Amino acid sequence: MLPEKFLERMQEMLGGEYEPFLQSLGEDRQQALRVNPLKRPEQAGQEGWAEELLSRSFNMTNVSWEKSGYYYAGIDQPGRHPYHEAGLYYIQEPSAMAVAPLVEVKPGEKILDLCAAPGGKSTQLAGYLQGEGLLVSNEIHPARARILSENIERMGVRNACVTNETPARLAEVFVEYFDRILVDAPCSGEGMFRKNETACEEWSPENVELCAGRQDEILDCAAQMLRPGGRLVYSTCTFAPQENEGSVSRFLERHEEFNLLPIDKERMGVPAEICDGRPEWGNGDEALRGTLRLWPHVICGEGHFAAVLQKEKGGNLPEGYDPISAGGLERGIAEKDRDLAPWWEFWRENGGEVLPFSGIFLRFGDNLYLAPEGMPALKGLKVLRPGLHLGTFKKNRFEPSHALALALSPAQVRYVCRLSAQEAAAAAYLNGQTFPWEGEKGWYLITVDGCSIGWGKLAGGVMKNHYPRGLRKNG
């Protein structure tokens, strides 16, 4: 049952579009997945290999606004497939895929996803970065931040720092620091009513107003953290004018240094007139037509809103501009430090002389991380994942992490155990079982159809299982 006051407002907003809109909310929702470009095949340069692999298992058609996004049929179950555990794709609502491309990420940049859980848009941004630069993915709620961190790991992201902070706290540390910021703001969730019954049950006009006030605060913090000439993308999954055109209007009134940039709907493959923002739902500024509204009766997906803003203060980025966080840079551990000896011993035996990733080594207790070069100092911040978790020091040896396995390709290690998704050994591995295997003794990267999925350790013809207990199919 949809809230009566919500329906009254939507009828007033949509007029002749109301009946098709209402009918769409009673239809089955669209389902989609997004292929992870960070996963690499065994043979470099093989374009479209993941799509070809997935097409054998799922019925896929392209999502127009994300080249790596694909609708799949209701009979498909990609969440239960070994490819999901390998991080080959992220199951994501199709309209939600429309936001991250608007950030227009370039490899090497400093990116902030301020309200990042559960991680769909963060992992999408990470794919655009191609392992270069820095992605700070933040979530204020601890439980949701842990889910975010897990998804960052599953997708093999190496250059992300996952934080569990308030926007205000981050704004103290990262003054005019980021090149681009995404604010996928907490909202009343009206665009997810078809997908999430809880959002419908929790809706009220008062909650809409509460969300709008919270969005104002978050956007003000984002404004402080964006460097001159930087790009800020604001999005919600609601239809409420107060939280969409209203939030953008109020922000521009508070921040004269920002301009609203138009979104090219034609390039996205959506109808401009219907998917344009509405000036009358904001402060009347015609520039609001350049914002984006995705409607479930118009596109194959749920409801979404997005706006692109540019910080013009000081014009374009000054020559030689090099933002530094309040704490400076992380120094890290020197590669030749004796504390790293067990790590290098492991890597020389099972990988090679050179680590295929660049970065700085950070140690937290017994855990070793490889953080992106130029990593800001993390002291005083609540950090769940300061980069790629390499593994754990245990007495006089080093045990590699699951995150490292998912970030590696078969070509980057010495020993590979190649399995097929259809064979029993793959299911046995995901259930935590051992299985027979022949080869040299050592750590093996377990792959499924060329996709890394975890570690195994071979000794005496038996592959010992190192798939994390918490992820095993049998619990």
For tokens 């067990």, name the residue.
342
Q: Among 366, 358, 415, which residue's Cα sits nearest to residue 388?
A: 358
Report helix, strand or coil for 218. helix
Rounded to whole angstroms, what are the CA distances from 415 to 46, 186, 351, 405, 418? 22, 45, 8, 12, 10
Q: Among 210, 209, 190, 187, which residue's Cα sits nearest to residue 200?
A: 190
User: What is the rounded distance in angstroms from the CA atom of residue 302 to the CA atom of residue 54?
Assistant: 24
Phi, psi angles (nearest 5°) of residue 250: -65, -40
User: What is the rounded distance in angstroms from the CA atom of residue 117 to the CA atom of residue 145?
Assistant: 6
Phi, psi angles (nearest 5°) of residue 428: -60, -40
| DSSP calls for 21-82 | HHHHTTSPPP-EEEE-TT---SSTT-TTHHHHHHHTTS-EEEETTEEEEEEE-TT--GGGSH
Phi, psi angles (nearest 5°) of residue 446: -80, 130
| DSSP calls for 106-156 | -TT-EEEETT-TT-HHHHHHHHHHTT-SEEEEE-SSHHHHHHHHHHHHHTT
For tokens 């055109």, name the residue.
245
Helix%, strand%, coil% for the chain, nearest 5: 35, 25, 40
Report helix, strand or coil for 304. strand
Strands (E), 237-311: 258-261, 292-294, 304-311
User: What is the rounded distance in angstroms from the CA atom of residue 290 to the CA atom of residue 269?
Assistant: 15
User: What is the rounded distance in angstroms from the CA atom of residue 243 to the CA atom of residue 34?
Assistant: 27
User: What is the rounded distance in angstroms from the CA atom of residue 162 to the CA atom of residue 125?
Assistant: 14
Q: Among 239, 258, 363, 392, which residue's Cα sits nearest to residue 314?
A: 258
Catalytic site positions: 237
User: What is the rounded distance in angstroms from the CA atom of residue 295 to the CA atom of residue 293?
Assistant: 6
Q: Decide: 71 and 84 in contact? Cβ < 8 Å.
A: no
Burial class from Cβ neighbours inside 10 Å (0-12, 13-18, 19+) for residue 187 reads buried
